[in-house]
Every structure is written in structure tokens, then in C-alpha cells.
């Protein structure tokens, strides 16, 4: 759905400058097809408002390229609605930084395999694991990018909420699969 929303911006020729000036109502209209517009529209509006205050125009966002990784994490996580995982996604995919955003797919798969041990329902444990995995994996852009995209594909196609272990190439290594056979 996120991809479709981005494509709709491109198809409708919405410039960065226009996006900068959107009202909360415009965010609502834009997000409505994806659901959760009531919750997300005010957050997107406040986030853009803060970026506007800090950078004045979209062109100035290039200044983020001069920030160190730590400065970026510190800045991005001050924005409304942005936590560590989202900040790391922006850094990896928009700023080409060698960081590793451990999203729900990564955590679920690593937990099932037995590489990490956490109560996946615990927000505190998830956030701690995200920080630790970034510390452990960051530093090699290609590795971070490929590993993250592979976890997403594997999580969507094979190791989802109901895992399809019979189709999985990781089965010989996997604690979850071993325990359930």
C-alpha cells in the first residue's frame, strides 16, 4: 500500500514543494485509501510542519547528507511518529547509510530461527533488539541493504504469521521448525 501511495504522488505530479505545504485535510484525503487516515494524517502533518520549520525548503533536506549517522538518528527520532526503526529505514533507503533497520519481518524470522530470543509482543524487547541488531550489522551498505530486503521478501512469502516451513530454505537451521516437527 505504501508503494501505491508513493506511485499516486508521482502519477498526480505532486512536487516536494507542494507536499511541504499540505494541510492536515490534504494528508487525510491522501491517506484515506490506505485506512488509518484518522491516526496518520495528524502525525504526517505535524512531521512535515517540523521539517518545514527546520529546513525551510525541500532543497535544504540535502543538508542531511552532512550529518553523521549518530546525528541523523538523533534528529530523525525527534520527528513526530519516527522511532529508531523508521529512522534507520530513511537512512538506509534515502540516504545510502550502512545501517540495519530490523523490522517486524527481521525480528520474527531471527527469533524463529533462534538467532535472537525475545518476546515478540514486548515493545521494549523489540526496540532493544532493533538497536542491538543495528550495532551488530551496520557498517557494510551492501550487506545491510540486501539482508533487509531479503528478510522482507522471506517474511512476506514464506515466514509470515503462519510459517510455510515445508517450502523454506532455512528449515535445516531453524529452531522453530525443529520444535514443531
For ligand SF4, give the closer residue by CB, 56 or 156.
156
Contact of 113 with 176, CB cutoff 8 Å: yes
3-state helix, strand, coil in the chain (%, to 5): 70, 0, 30
**Binding pattern to ligand SF4, positions 99-118, x when CB under 6 A?**
----------x--xx-----
Q: Evaluate whether 101 touches 134 at the Cβ level (below 8 Å).
A: yes
Within positions 156 to 175, which residues make up the interface with ligand SF4, using CB under 6 A? 158-159, 163-165, 168, 170-171, 174
Part in contact with ligand SF4 (CB under 6 A); list of ranges 42-50, 88-96, 125-133, 155-163: 155-163
49 CA to centre of own chain: 21
- Give 75's Cβ-side CA count (13 Å radius): 17
Total of residues contacting ligand SF4 (CB under 6 A): 14
Cα 10 to Cα 8: distance, rounded to the nearest angstrom: 5
147: contact with ligand SF4 by CB under 6 A: no
Residues 24-43 that bind ligand SF4 (CB under 6 A): none
Closer by beta carbon to ligand SF4, 50 or else 171 = 171
Amino acid at each position: 500500500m505504501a508503494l501505491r501511495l508513493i506511485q499516486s504522488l508521482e502519477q498526480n505530479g505532486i512536487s516536494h514543494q507542494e507536499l511541504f505545504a499540505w494541510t492536515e485535510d490534504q494528508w487525510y484525503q491522501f491517506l484515506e485509501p490506505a485506512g488509518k487516515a484518522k491516526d496518520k494524517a495528524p502525525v504526517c502533518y505535524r512531521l512535515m510542519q517540523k521539517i518545514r520549520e527546520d529546513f525551510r525548503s525541500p532543497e535544504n533536506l540535502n543538508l542531511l547528507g552532512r550529518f553523521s549517522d549518530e546525528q541523523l538518528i538523533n534528529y530523525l527520532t525527534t520527528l513526530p511518529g519516527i522511532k529508531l526503526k523508521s529512522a534507520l529505514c530513511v537512512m538506509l533507503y534515502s540516504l545510502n547509510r550502512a545501517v540495519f533497520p530490523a523490522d517486524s519481518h527481521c525480528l520474527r524470522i531471527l527469533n524463529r530461527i533462534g538467532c535472537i530470543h525475545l518476546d515478540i509482543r514486548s515493545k521494549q524487547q523489540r526496540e532493544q533488539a532493533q538497536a542491538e541488531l543495528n550495532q551488530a550489522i551496520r557498517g557494510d551498505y551492501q550487506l545491510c541493504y540486501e539482508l533487509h530486503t531479503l528478510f522482507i521478501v522471506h517474511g512476506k512469502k514464506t515466514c509470515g504469521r503462519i510459517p510455510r516451513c515445508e517450502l523454506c530454505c532455512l528449515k535445516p537451521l531453524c529452531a522453530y521448525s525443529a520444535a514443531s516437527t
